[in-house]
Structure 1
C-alpha cells in the first residue's frame, strides 16, 4: 500500500516537534537513534515521553547531549560527516538537502558564502539530531510523499546569539520564499530547522488531501501556551487519488454540438469509465456544456489529452472521487433463440436491480426488424420468468441455477464483474 503523510503546521513547526510526531505515528526510535549515531557517534541520546498540550495528548522529544563541549560546526565540516556516515542513501540525500537549504538561507542572511557558515543553528547537536532523525523516520515509515499546509510563523521578538530579532527571524523568511505562511500566534512558532525540513521534504497543499487515514502522530513543543495546542500533527494514510477514480471536467461554450457524440466516444476509448455532458449557463448568459469524464487514475493522462485534442477547451480541472457500487453480474436469458443478458446488481445475496442489457436488446431488435420497445418488454418478461427480480435471491446463492432460470452459456454460468466496473 502506498502511504503518504499530511503535516499540520498550523501551529508552527520545529525540528523536535516534527520528529516527535513521526515517532508517535509509528517510526521506530532505535532506527532513528542509529541514524543519529552514524552522524554524531555517542553524542546525542533521544527519548520520548507523553505530555499534554492545551489538554491534548502529545509526545515530546528530548535530546540529551553528552557532557563534552561541542564545537560550532561549519557547514563544510558537517557535510563531510554526513557523507561519511553509514546512512541509507535516501536518508543521506534528504539530510544533505535540508542542511544545504538551511546553510544557504543563513549565508544569505549574514552575507557570507554557504561553505563558511558556522553557527548555532546548523552546528548544534539537537538540530543535527532533529534533521537526521526526521529524515530517518520518513524512510522508516516508507512514506511515498509528504504534504503540508500553510505554516504559522508567529510574531513578536526572540533573543538569539545575534541579539534580539523580530519574529519571524530572517532565516525563516529566507526559507519561506514561495510558501503560504501566516503570522498567527505569539512568539517564535517556526524555527529555521523546522522550516528547512518542511520546505525541503514536503509539498505544500491548501488543505488536507483525500486519504484513508492509517495513523496519527502528535509532536509537542516545549511550551504549553494557553491560547493554542503547541503541536505538530502528522496524518499517515493511503492517498485516494491512487486507489480510486478521478473526475476530469471542462466548461465549453464554443464547440459545434454535432461533435459531442464523437467526443464522448473518444473518451471511452481513451479509458474513461463514463463520460457525459451537463448543460450550464456561463458568464454573460452564454449557454454551454460541462464535459465530465470519470476515469481510473492510471488513465487520467490519456483522458486529459483526449479532451484537449477533440474539443476547443484550453484547460481542464481534475479531482479525486470515491465510488461505492453494488456488485454486478450478467445472467443470460433466451428470447426467440437469441441470448439477451440481464444485468443484476446484488447485495448480501439478494438482487437489488435487474435490467436487460440495452445493447443486446438493440441488436436483437435490429436483426429481427422489430421495434426496440417491443423487444425490451419481452426481455423484461423473460427476466421475471427466470426469477431475476428485485428481492429475489442471487442466482449463485444456492451454488447452481434455480429451476426456470437461464442455463449457462458457452462462456460459463454467470459473468461477474469487479464491484467498481462501469456498465
Structure 2
C-alpha cells in the first residue's frame, strides 16, 4: 500500500506540506492548473524553489498575493510572516504560513466571494470547492480539512459551522495550501497516510485578539485526539492548517512504519532556528 508519512520533527504547516510534496517529486505545475478551477487565480501567484535549512536542502513554497492593495505584494516576503493570517491563528510566522501577508491589511480585493476584510465564510469555501470540478478524492480531502478547521473555530468562538467566517483560513494562501496539498497527495497516488506525533512549540504569539499561548486555541482544538510531542522551541510550530491536514488525513500516528522507501521530501518553513532545521519531512513508500 502506497503510504505517505509526515515526519513532523519541526511541526507542520500548509506551505511546508506542499513544499515537501513538491520536493518528493510531485508536479507543482499540474497543481497550479488544477487550482485555476477555483477561479481565484487573479488573486495570487505561486512560487517554489530550493533553500537550505541548517544544512538540509529543501523546497520552499509561497503564495504571493496580487491584490490591489495599498501595499506592494512584495511585503509577503519582507515582513509578511510577522502578520498573522488575519484571524491570527494562521499567524504561523513559525514557519509556514509564512506566506502570511495578513489580509487584515488588504481590504481591497475585487474578487468574490469575499468581504472587505479578506475573509470568506465556511459556506462560500464549500461552494467554491464543490463548483470547481476537482476530482472526487481532492474534493473530499479538501472539504474534510476545512470542516475540521471550521468546527474548531466555531467551537472557540461559540458559533455554528454555517456562521463561521474564515479570516486566516479564508485567506487565499490557506485555501491554496489545503486544496493544493490535496491535489498533490492525489496526484502521487497515496493510498494511506501516517504521521508522527505533532510538536506544537511553546511560548506566546500576538494575534488579532491579543497575546495567546502556543499552541493557539484553534490549533489545540484541531489536535484533539492526536498525539502532541513535546518540544522546547519557543515558537509556533504547528499551524491550524498544518494540524488539520495531519489530523484529517493520517489514519495512524506513531513512529515511521516498516516500509520500502520510494521518495523523500523536505518542505521548508520561513523561520530559521539556531540548532534545528525548520523543515517538514515526508517519506513515501510501500507498506506490505
Q: TM-score, normalised by structure 2?
A: 0.80
Other-structure match for 2:223: 176
- Kindly provide the CA deviation profile for residues 198-250 of structure 1, in whole angstroms up to 9, marking residues without a partner as x: 000112332100111111000000011112111100111111xx2xxxxxxxx
SS in 2 for 1:136: helix
Whether the 8 Å CA contact 1:74–1:119 is kept in 2: the answer is yes
Other-structure match for 2:33: 34
Whether the 8 Å CA contact 1:37–1:43 is kept in 2: the answer is no
CA distance in 2 between partners of 1:182 and 1:237 (Å): 24
1:223 correspondence with 2:271? yes
CA RMSD of aligned residues (A): 1.2
1:3 correspondence with 2:7? no
Whether the 8 Å CA contact 2:45–2:63 is kept in 1: the answer is yes
SS in 2 for 1:187: coil
- Kindly provide the CA deviation profile for residues 34-61 of structure 1, in whole angstroms up to 9, marking residues without a partner as x: 2322222332222211111112111100
CA distance in 1 between partners of 2:35 and 2:164 (Å): 22
Count of residue correspondences: 239
Other-structure match for 1:13: 12
CA distance in 2 between partners of 1:104 and 1:124 (Å): 17
Deviation, structure 1 residue 11: 1.1
1:64 correspondence with 2:111? no
Q: TM-score, normalised by structure 1?
A: 0.55
Whether the 8 Å CA contact 2:226–2:253 is kept in 1: the answer is no
Deviation, structure 1 residue 121: 1.9
CA distance in 2 between partners of 1:72 and 1:205 (Å): 32
CA distance in 2 between partners of 1:121 and 1:98 (Å): 14
Point out where structure 2 has 5 or more consecutive residues left out of the alignment: 69-107, 110-117
CA distance in 2 between partners of 1:6 and 1:108 (Å): 29
Greater relative CO, 1 or 2 (CA 8 Å, sep 6+): 2
Other-structure match for 1:166: 213
Other-structure match for 2:201: 154
Deviation, structure 1 residue 30: 1.3
CA distance in 1 between partners of 2:155 and 2:230 (Å): 22
CA distance in 2 between partners of 1:124 and 1:183 (Å): 30
Q: Which has the larger radius of gyration?
A: 1
1:52 correspondence with 2:100? no
CA distance in 2 between partners of 1:41 and 1:89 (Å): 21
CA distance in 2 between partners of 1:197 and 1:178 (Å): 14
SS in 2 for 1:95: helix
More strand by share: 1
Whether the 8 Å CA contact 1:6–1:235 is kept in 2: the answer is yes
> Which of 97, 105, 108 in structure 1 is aligned with 2:152?
105
